[in-house]
Each structure stands twice: as structure tokens, then as C-alpha cells.
Amino acid sequence: MEELNRNLTNDGLLELIGDKIKEGLMIIVDKLLTSNPEYTMLYVVQEIIDLPNAVDVTDFEAAALGWDNTLIIRAMFNADTTISEKYPKGTQIDGARIRIYDTLTPDFEEQSPRLTREKDAVRVLQGKPIYRQSHVVFDEEFMKLGGHAVIEYDNTVPIDIAMAKKSTIVSAAKLLSTEALITS
């Protein structure tokens, strides 16, 4: 049997710890020491069942279309190494959950925007790509923040056009920052 790790596909994770995932538990699937040995990066996974639709479709209509709003989501966070050593891979974390929120700003330069269900177009709002973020929060924080925050998209853009535009925007930003360094 394969060892639990962050590189497994969702099917691989379900094969190893599917019973825990299907219960909605947040599970540690991997641990990695950071460049600072005082901290360890923890990788967690959780099944999200209550994610609202990102379009104006009722739950009944989504069911009639065969859409499943259940997904397995992953998150990572730093923890004190002495604390993380107490929790081996496969451990469930109680009292916390993964919170999903959409934004119009990527979390990191190489982040891909959200795609349509058919995976042939990028979801956009007012011409801007939508990006999905995930963070681990306490249950109380989740409630105070109002749960998940999904942006309803107003249009889609074919992948090839969206990626070409993103590449141009990133290149322009790099060029502007390089020019600013040269002139200062």
C-alpha cells in the first residue's frame, strides 16, 4: 500500500483514508520541514459538502443537472515543529476546518484561475479571473466569517485566451518592476 502523502490524487487519498474523508474530518496527509527547522509545513485534506454554487442555480437544479457540490479540498499551513511532531500523518484535527474563499487576486504567481465544469474556460467576474483560496480556521472563526465565500461568476473566457492574457499581464508587471529598479 502506498504511503500517505501530499502528492496522492484524490482517488489515492480515498483509497487510503476514505472513511475519514467521507466523515468530513480534516486529516493531516503530509508533513515537511521548512527551511527554518522550528516550523513544519502541515498538509491537510477535507471533504467539503456545503459549498454553495458559484452560479445562480438552486440545489434542486444542480441535482437535476447531476452536479455534485461535494469536493475534496486541500490546504497547508506552518506549525511549530515540536507541536507537529505529536501528530503523525493520518491524524484528524478536531475543532477546525478548511475554509474556501474566492478572490480576484492569485495567492501566488503560478496559481491557475477557476475553470468551468467542462474545464474548457476560465470563470471571470467583470473580466477578471476568479481564484480559489483555502485556509484552515477554527470552527468558531468559520462561523464568524460566514462560512465559505464563493464568488458568483458573470462570464467565462476560453482557456487559451485567458492564459495568453494572464501571461501578458505577468510579463508587463515584471517589465514595469524591472524598469522601476533601473530608474531608482
Q: pLDDT tens for residues 22-72?
A: 998 999 999 999 999 999 999 999 998 767 665 556 667 777 877 666 789
Domain hosting 48: range is 1-94
Among the ranges given (36-40, 81-85, 126-130), the one the predictor scored with the smallest mean pLDDT: 126-130
The total domain count for the chain is 1
Establish if 160 belongs to a structural domain.
no
pLDDT over 50 at 128, yes or no = yes
The pLDDT of residue 28: 97
Establish if 70 belongs to a structural domain.
yes
Establish if 68 belongs to a structural domain.
yes
Establish if 180 belongs to a structural domain.
no
Establish if 155 belongs to a structural domain.
no
Establish if 165 belongs to a structural domain.
no
Select from 91, 89, 78 the least CA-distant residue to 38.
Answer: 78
Establish if 138 belongs to a structural domain.
no
As a dihedral over the C-alpha atoms of residue 15, residue 53, residue 49, residue 60, rounded to 10 degrees, the angle is: -100
Establish if 100 belongs to a structural domain.
no
Strand-pairing partners, residue 128, are 125
pLDDT over 60 at 182, yes or no = no
